[in-house]
Structure 1
Amino acid sequence: MPGKAQETSDPKERFSKTMWASMLAPEHLQRVEAEVIERFVPAGGYACRKGDSVDHWMGVVDGFLKMSSISPEGKTITFSCMLAGGWFGEGSLLKTECRKYDVVALRDTRVAYMPRSTFTWLLDNSIPFNRFLLQQLNERLGLFISLVEYDRMLDTDTRVARCIASMFNPYLNPGGGMQLQISQEEIGYISSVSRQRANQALQLLEKKKLLSLDYGGITILDLAGLRSFPAEDSDAISK
């Protein structure tokens, strides 16, 4: 379970990198600020677990989360990663079902939890919030369709490129710039490859001038190039 609820010095900080909060009417945002709680999840800890009842909509205040599941064969399958400003779990809330995945902190992370009652109240009272959710659900559907393609049809280097690019979706991860503090091991997690293989792919992408490798992270030089990086032109290292 995540750590105890914590208060920040300024509750508005929880929403500073969040796209949907800026769309709310002042009275709606005031209620949200009063009812959302924050918890600390240490690296390796669970923000939520597969099979849990879904009682909150969740967002990353600061840190890095991985949405994943374990197959019957014991293989970890990563669906998505969430950075600061990203919110998730709306589909399970809307369907009132148990959670279908684990959400694990890849580093120390502060997570915001919006109660189901607050989420439902926003749906009933805020047209901008509804519009945001429609767009977010559409973006997430597109991401998951792409992940199936990455896993089944693309070579490893292209999969790493596309998975990195997916972390810069303005709806799903709105809070980041072109610099990303992420380790090669974490890139391996989101791409379902080993750290060593992720390193080989990153070296290739740097050679192609799509990104640069920094100490403890990467800087994106050509986001469009990462999104369209083609397997057939990558002179990729074999799987």
Structure 2
Amino acid sequence: MRQLDAPQQARVRRDLIERTVPAGAFVCRKGEPIEHWFGVIDGLVKISSVSADGKSVTFIGVPPGGWYGEGSLLKAEPRRYDAVALRDSRIALMPRATFQWLLDSSIPFNRHLLIQLNERLGQLIATLESDRLLGPDARVARCLAQMFNPLLYPELGPRLEISQAELGFLTGLSRQRVNQALQLLSRRGLLNVEYGSITVLSLDALRGFEE
């Protein structure tokens, strides 16, 4: 929110609500009325949906610094997905009234939303391509590249705290298969794997990785 002027920042700080969500718990649920815009202060959140017959699909993972839910707020419709904390997470909730006030009063905020919506569309296209055309190694690479998007998550930096099990939840792969993919990407010089974290060495190479 650095692009906001001082009075706008003051109101946002006053209106924001902070919530701690334990690992495995819902941040918000499909079908709920939309009352807030959600930001991840710390932790990791999975955005997904489960059909009536139990089939699930994961759309994105949201690391620290990311916001989500603006589309549902703009359309004023019930939420169309679940958001689940993959690890203990601190979540910021911006009330609908504050979100709408910024829309009406801040050109920089509107510009930020346009960029965010455009990047989300790109993520959706990349996810469809990954799921339908690419193998597991490329799926892991593209999933990581999405979470290191500098426009959506400008404060993240090159290192992300994420376990192989959490990456498996986001890609729909087993932890063992994720480990194989990470070792391959590490040998190619695209990233470094540490216990509980990954450091990206070449974001462009991750984005374009194909098997």
Q: TM-score range by the shorter chain?
A: over 0.9
Query: How far off is 1:56 after superposition?
Result: 0.4
Partner in structure 2 of residue 229 of structure 1: 209
Partner in structure 2 of residue 68 of structure 1: 48
TM-score scaled to structure 2, two decimals? 0.97
Query: How far off is 1:176 after superposition?
Result: 1.1
What does 1:73-222 align with in structure 2 at a 5 Å threshold?
73-222=53-202
Question: 1:100-155 deviations in whole A, cap 9, x for unaligned?
Answer: 00000011111010110000000000000001101100000110111001000111
TM-score scaled to structure 1, two decimals? 0.86
Which consecutive segments of 4 or more residues in structure 1 shift more than 3 A? Answer: none
Structure 2, unaligned runs of 5 or more: none
Q: Is the 8 A contact 1:57 1:116 kept in 2?
A: yes
CA distance in 1, matches of 2:174, 2:56: 12
Partner in structure 2 of residue 15 of structure 1: none
Query: How far off is 1:213 after superposition?
Result: 1.2
Amino acid at match of 1:34: R
Question: How many equivalent residue pairs?
Answer: 211
Query: Is residue 2:16 matched to residue 1:36?
Result: yes
* Secondary structure of 1:22 counterpart: coil
Q: After the TM superposition, which of the residue ranges 206-215 and 100-109 deviates more from structure 2? A: 206-215
Question: 1:68-103 deviations in whole A, cap 9, x for unaligned?
Answer: 111344232110111111111000000000000000
CA distance in 1, matches of 2:193, 2:210: 21
Query: How far off is 1:203 after superposition?
Result: 1.2
Alpha-carbon RMSD across the aligned residues, in angstroms, is 1.0
Q: Is the 8 A contact 1:86 1:171 kept in 2?
A: no
Q: Is the 8 A contact 1:57 1:113 kept in 2?
A: yes
CA distance in 2, matches of 1:87, 1:26: 21
Q: After the TM superposition, which of the residue ranges 200-209 and 115-124 deviates more from structure 2? A: 200-209
Amino acid at match of 2:162: I
Structure 1, unaligned runs of 5 or more: 1-20, 232-239
